[in-house]
Structure 1
Amino acid sequence: MTLSTLLLIPLAGALLIIAWPQAQHIKQLALWIAGLLLVWTVYVLSQFQTAVSGLQLTTVLAWLPDLGLNYSLAVDGLSLPLLMLSSVLTWIAIYSSPAELERPKLYYSLIFIVNIGVAGSLLAQNLLLFFLFYELELIPFYLLVSIWGGEQKSYAATKFLLYTALSGILILLGFLGLTWLSGSTSFEYIDLDTTTIPRNLQLVLLTILLVGFGIKTPLVPLHTWQPDVYVEASPPIAILLGGVLAKLGTYGLIRFCLQLFPEAWDLVAPGLAAIGTFSVMYGALSAIAQSDVKRMVAYSSIGHMGYILVAAAAGNTLSLTGAIAQMVSHGLILALLFHLLGLVETKVGTRDLNKLNGLMNPVRGLPMVSALLVVAGMASAGIPGLVGFIAEYMVFQGSFARFPIPTLLCIIASGLTAVYFVILINRTCFGRLDSQTAYYPKVTVPERAPALILTVMILILGLQPMWLTRWSENTADAIVAAVPQVGVVAEIPSRGLDSRGSVVDAQSIALATSAHAIQLEDSRSIALSPPSPPILGGE
């Protein structure tokens, strides 16, 4: 029941909130439930064995065996960091929600249903079960945007509903075709053998799944729903959309595309690297052109998600470990940005760069919010010492050997990230306040608490990247073991390469690049026994 409890806590929380008689204490109740969920996720983290590359804490219960649907849950180094991210940001979103809220019972219960859908998707080891959890978050997010969103909330919510529904349809078609063509009588992940499917049909199925998960990520040109939804959603819901929901897209790209179709993935990898690079450049250049700070961050998110596709296309241990680190890094930084921009809009009354200025003023401005906004911009731009740097460095270092030109373009785009965040910070935080009557309301300690928590996490994981990368390294190595002809990453003097050309210990690279010399145990062994079919096996 260890993993099932991650689903039962938010389910019980949603039911309890709906049945709670007093609406004025709903937020406090939701915070306690989210805190319990966070504590249990930390417990799951403590039970995870980093030396094991396969699935752990497995639960399998028969549900509808005639349909091939079973209640199968498990966790590995790919899903565990995202589970932790989801629990942290769920608590942050609830804490940062307004105290006075219309229909609070519905609001907080929908947030917990979203958490069930995300956690269930990350844990599900049955294709149909994954699809059910994947679709579970669709209606709750639609309602969260359409009821508590901005002026164009109906348009944005409908657009989100249509795109996400299309994503689910494509994924279901891909899963059904995969099971039928492989001759499997079960939808269990570990029972699938894609090697029996002809190469051309593998490419067709892979393309369907790539488009389905690419919509959710989102990747250019499947991204058009994202800026509208992020802008119209309230800051807490934008945190869940960008920090949590988008990660289901990149998780699916690795879990169900790279792992299930390693040979076909290797064939299309150059094209995927090109798409990822185009997304990175498009996101960066579009962000520079924005005057709405929230829309600027939305386009920035598109660019940073493109890094993950480039790293997954490279298909080596270091790049995959960096891709997982980038998912966590992006989630934390984006959550910090949306929370701070929400405070700015609440206190100042605008998101327009042409109207914002002087917020660093210590008397009449928002000095603490401005200072934290500078830190968030530095983290997003990949400044050393913050978590954004180590994630992007691992992505670039791992991807360069196989895709040097796309990687160099991504590095240039990383420089463009600094450009648009300098524009944002310069116009927002500095300069002189135009009006002598512009005494903005002070930001209270409870209002800035989520930003302080996120900033501390960004700083700690930037200074101690091993705390982030150690959970995923062996899982990434096991995934690489099944991928043919992966690019050989550049040799790092402090650590050797194994027989496949993969970095034996990505943690040492992460620590070396952040100038923190940590002596790792040389006797540490890495499980490199890929199962057949080419997916992660059980314990």
Structure 2
Amino acid sequence: MQFPIAQQLIEGLPLGILPLMLAIVLGSSVVVYVLGKRAARAATILVTAIELGLSIILALAIDPSIQISDPNAGMTCMWQFTMGRITVDETETVLQILLGVDGISIVMVVLSNLVVFIAALCSNHIHKSEGLYYAVLLLLQAGLIGVFVSVDLIGFFVFWESVLIPMFFIIGRWGEEGCQHAAVKFLIYTQLGSAILLIGIFILYFAAMPHTFNMLALRSAGLPVNVQIAFALTVFVGAGVKLPVWPLHNWLPWAHVKAPTPGSVILAGILLKMGGYGFLRLGVWMIPEGFARISIPLAALAVFTCIYAALTAMAQTDLKSMVAYTSINHMAWVLLAVAVGTSVALQGAVFMMFSHGVIISVMFIVAGQLKYSAGSREIPMVRGLMAGAPRLSSVLILASLATFGLPGFSGFIAEVLILFGSVRVYIWTAFITFGVFITVGYLLWTLNRIVFSDPDPEKKVSEAPWSDLVAPILMLVPVVLLGLLPDLVLRLVTPVALFIVGGGP
């Protein structure tokens, strides 16, 4: 369903909405750098709110339906910027930034803008180099948007890489003690993954005749299966580091524990989703035949990663570290969905990324706030939170219930879609539900130890101020809303999922 008012608003803009969104955040990053600390935060919240509003308007304006014969594969709001031309093997190649959105990418754009907006709201405890911090935050937002709207591999890779440097500084400059080591580890892992992905991009470029970086052209180029498989393996490494999947996950717990709360929110809320989106866009959307050839090992690895991460999370004593491994656990569901490649599972993958993005953001905000309210994030050190901080406890309880997929919350819808879409292909993928059972166990155990235990008379627990609870409460709204009205997302995603699999289930 399209909304004519939203279409009219977009048509009345002086510039295409996609380049306009990028221009606003890039220009604003310069402005907030020179502003005072209070003005910088207020300006960043305003800019991120505008970006969120524009992305919602775009989601309401686009027609998600796709014709099988559509040469643009459902991409709309196309915009192109030519950087130059090169000649390779007597073929002229256009180096360009090509932008466009379909039902999947617009969902991710809305999520990225929502997460960055919430990160700006919960940045009230950042008191060092505020102007630089908010400028870096906006640069990060520009990179995230660019990844999700790029329809050309050159532009995609430029934006993919441009996210790493701002995130490196957010972890390394504004994190906790030992954050520099975590930031370097994050950069090394992600850069190595990106280098391998770049090799894959050039494999595709030289295999396509005529040579091109255009994703739409590559999708219909009839590439040899061995080339598709080679590229799929490079996507596994490049996107697998971001997702992350075992054994490429070792950077994530370090980065989460040492990053400031807004950094953890962005890491889990949207940066990990770059990995899932990479598997979707570069994998099943662009080279479906090659990706299908490695589906069994990918599905098996997804099941193993989910159970491994759940067991590891159960052993953590730092709440932030536990939530970090919970992220790995949930993102394994996304890998399973793209591995089996059914339309139902792919719908579940996008729904899981959006759902997990908002739920896990709440969990990290609460984990960060726990240090201010109880003096520690160590689970054995916190007692009687409900008695001293009932508001914070209520948010933690709701977020925990949503995390393990209680019916009525968005996570339940995502898990059901992926499970139904997977078992019809490989019945043994049902073993991934063991990860859910383990997650339910350790989250309820954690709530019992932190929230419902008797207070420690020697340790004072203070209530979180409302100013610190606005962000997580706002994030809980879509968690409940999508649990009751999943079609708000599925109406955008379903046509693309059906298009990818050729109209089948």
CA contact (8 A) 2:344 2:420 kept: yes
Distance 1:158 1:263 in 2: 36
Residue of structure 2 equivalent to 1:409? 431
Distance 2:83 2:371 in 1: 48
Residue of structure 1 equivalent to 2:489? 468
Q: CA deviation at 1:99?
A: 5.0
Distance 1:107 1:301 in 2: 25
Residue type of the alignment partner of 1:103: S
For 1:282-431, list aligned pairs within 5 A: 282-361=308-387, 365-406=388-429, 408-431=430-453
Describe the SS at the equivalent of 2:17.
Answer: coil
Residue of structure 2 equivalent to 1:487? none
Residue type of the alignment partner of 1:460: L
Which moves more between the two structures, 181-190 or 369-378? 181-190
CA contact (8 A) 2:390 2:463 kept: no
Tell me, yes or no, if structure 1 residue 96 matches structure 2 residue 122: yes
Residue of structure 2 equivalent to 1:506? none
Distance 2:219 2:486 in 1: 35
Match of 1:18 among 33, 39, 45: 33
Residue of structure 1 equivalent to 2:48? 34
Distance 1:220 1:304 in 2: 13
Describe the SS at the equivalent of 1:192.
Answer: helix
For 1:37-52, list aligned pairs within 5 A: 37-52=51-66
Q: CA deviation at 1:292?
A: 1.0
Q: CA deviation at 1:23?
A: 3.0
CA contact (8 A) 2:389 2:461 kept: yes
**Structure 1's 193 and 390: CA in aligned 2 closer, same or farther, altered over 3 A?**
closer
**Structure 1's 225 and 306: CA in aligned 2 closer, same or farther, altered over 3 A?**
same
Distance 2:94 2:303 in 1: 38
- Listed one character per residue, the Cα deviations across residues 221-246 of structure 1 (whole Å, up to 9, x for unaligned) are 11010111011111111000111111
CA contact (8 A) 1:70 1:126 kept: yes
Percent identity of paired positions between Structure 1 and Structure 2: 30
Describe the SS at the equivalent of 1:68.
Answer: strand
- Listed one character per residue, the Cα deviations across residues 445-471 of structure 1 (whole Å, up to 9, x for unaligned) are 111111111112211111111112111
Q: CA deviation at 1:51?
A: 2.3
- Listed one character per residue, the Cα deviations across residues 88-127 of structure 1 (whole Å, up to 9, x for unaligned) are 1111000101255100011001111111111001001110
Q: CA deviation at 1:52?
A: 3.4
Distance 2:476 2:351 in 1: 16
Residue type of the alignment partner of 2:461: Y
Distance 1:46 1:193 in 2: 27
Distance 2:237 2:50 in 1: 36
Residue of structure 2 equivalent to 1:508? none
Residue of structure 1 equivalent to 2:23? 8
Residue of structure 1 equivalent to 2:252? 226
Residue type of the alignment partner of 1:402: V
- The unaligned stretches of length 5 or more in structure 1 are 482-497, 503-539
Match of 2:477 among 456, 464, 478: 456
Tell me, yes or no, if structure 1 residue 130 matches structure 2 residue 153: no
Higher relative contact order (CA 8 A, sep 6+): 1
Describe the SS at the equivalent of 2:419.
Answer: helix
Distance 1:173 1:184 in 2: 18
Residue type of the alignment partner of 1:351: R
CA contact (8 A) 1:34 1:90 kept: yes
Distance 2:105 2:409 in 1: 23
Q: CA deviation at 1:433?
A: 1.2
Match of 1:434 among 456, 465, 484: 456
Aligned residues: 478
Residue of structure 1 equivalent to 2:4? none
**Structure 1's 274 and 146: CA in aligned 2 closer, same or farther, altered over 3 A?**
same
Distance 1:52 1:197 in 2: 23
For 1:503-522, list aligned pairs within 5 A: none
Residue of structure 1 equivalent to 2:12? none
CA RMSD of aligned residues (A): 1.4
Residue type of the alignment partner of 2:63: Q
Residue type of the alignment partner of 1:451: P
- Listed one character per residue, the Cα deviations across residues 15-64 of structure 1 (whole Å, up to 9, x for unaligned) are 111232x3332111111111111111112112211223611111123222
Residue of structure 1 equivalent to 2:174? 148
Distance 1:394 1:5 in 2: 35
For 1:236-275, list aligned pairs within 5 A: 236-275=262-301
Which moves more between the two structures, 95-104 or 418-427? 95-104
Distance 1:163 1:470 in 2: 36
Residue type of the alignment partner of 2:44: A
Distance 1:205 1:319 in 2: 22
Tell me, yes or no, if structure 1 residue 65 matches structure 2 residue 85: yes
Residue type of the alignment partner of 2:411: G
Residue type of the alignment partner of 1:62: T
Distance 2:150 2:402 in 1: 32
- The unaligned stretches of length 5 or more in structure 2 are 1-15, 68-73, 87-92
Describe the SS at the equivalent of 1:63.
Answer: strand
- Flag the structure with higher helix content: 2
- Listed one character per residue, the Cα deviations across residues 500-529 of structure 1 (whole Å, up to 9, x for unaligned) are 4x1xxxxxxxxxxxxxxxxxxxxxxxxxxx
Residue of structure 1 equivalent to 2:10? none
Describe the SS at the equivalent of 2:77.
Answer: strand
